[in-house]
């Protein structure tokens, strides 16, 4: 019973850290100064600069690269889901391997299957985020194609279209970031397959690494200069 409480506490810590980190990054003034927050500003800058150009082939090529990257992650999510299902199906084989180790790390079959289901759910969440981000990037590409010509850049309609496109663009980036964040936390979740105590450590490590990249990395410093 004591071991079960440790597992529950470790999973609760994992969920709490993920939730607090995501909320801080997306819904607080502190998060708006993150690397992702600073990049949101340049999405609007890009759209406004595009409005002044007659030829927009390069802009569409950039959008294509964003879509291709998102499609790659969505496909990777499906592969990861398949791997999780295979791991779930091979419960007995996995437990037999763990029992053969010098240190017995084998949980009960029910707990092992619970861990596998949790991992699968994380990758399902990631797939939905990446697939929706891909769809939104498609919408952004359509909005870019519908951008008024440069001769009409000073009209109210052009300004409204810039705001509209920027909002959809930001939403696409936000969903992509959520999907990528779930990949990072999935790596931390793998610690639970070793021990709930390891899950505490790996979760903390994921939060520290992702926080450093968002707030103290060289890229963050470059975007603030």
CA distance 28 to 127: 26
What's the Cα-to-Cα distance from 57 to each of 61, 62, 133, 164, 172, rounded to whole Å? 6, 9, 22, 21, 21
**Section 191-200 average pLDDT:** 92
Confidence band of 1 (pLDDT split at 50, 70, 90): very low
Confidence band of 194 (pLDDT split at 50, 70, 90): confident
Most confident of the ranges 44-48, 96-100, 211-215: 211-215
Report whether pLDDT(133) > 90. Answer: yes
Residues 25-46: pLDDT tens digits? 999 999 889 999 888 888 989 9
Can you read off the two tokens belonging to residue 86? 């295979």
Q: What is the pTM of this model?
A: 0.90
**Section 147-152 average pLDDT:** 88
Residues 150-191: pLDDT tens digits? 888 889 999 999 999 999 999 999 999 999 999 999 999 999
The answer to whether the beta carbons of residues 7 and 111 sit under 8 Å apart is yes
The answer to whether the beta carbons of residues 180 and 73 sit under 8 Å apart is yes
Of 133, 225, 135, residue with least CA distance to 181: 133
pLDDT at 168: 95
Domain boundaries, the chain: 2-224
Confidence band of 103 (pLDDT split at 50, 70, 90): low
* Mean per-residue pLDDT of the chain: 90
**Section 62-79 average pLDDT:** 93
Report whether pLDDT(73) > 80. Answer: yes
What's the Cα-to-Cα distance from 13 to each of 28, 42, 116, 207, 209, rounded to whole Å? 21, 35, 18, 12, 17
Say what percent of the chain tops pLDDT 70.
Answer: 95
Report whether pLDDT(225) > 70. Answer: no
């Amino acid at each position: 019973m004591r071991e079960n409480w440790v597992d529950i506490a470790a999973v609760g810590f994992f969920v709490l850290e993920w939730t607090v980190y995501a909320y801080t990054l997306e819904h607080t003034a502190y998060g708006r100064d993150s690397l992702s927050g600073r990049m949101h500003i340049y999405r609007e800058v890009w759209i406004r600069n595009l409005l002044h150009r007659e030829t927009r082939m390069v802009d569409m090529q950039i959008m294509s690269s964003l879509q291709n990257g998102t499609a790659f992650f969505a496909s990777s999510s499906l592969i990861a889901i398949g791997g999780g299902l295979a791991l779930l199906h091979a419960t007995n084989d996995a437990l037999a391997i763990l029992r053969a180790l010098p240190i017995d790390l084998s949980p009960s079959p029910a707990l092992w299957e619970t861990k596998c289901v949790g991992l699968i759910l994380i990758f399902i969440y990631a797939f939905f985020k990446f697939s929706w981000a891909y769809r939104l990037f498609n919408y952004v590409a359509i909005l870019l194609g519908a951008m008024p010509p440069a001769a009409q850049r000073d009209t109210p309609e052009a300004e409204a279209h810039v705001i509209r496109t920027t909002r959809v663009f930001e939403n696409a980036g936000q969903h992509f970031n959520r999907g990528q964040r779930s990949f990072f936390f999935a790596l931390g979740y793998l610690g639970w397959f070793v021990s709930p105590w390891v899950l505490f450590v790996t979760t903390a490590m994921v939060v520290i690494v992702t926080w450093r990249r968002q707030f103290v990395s060289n890229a963050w410093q470059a975007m603030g200069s």
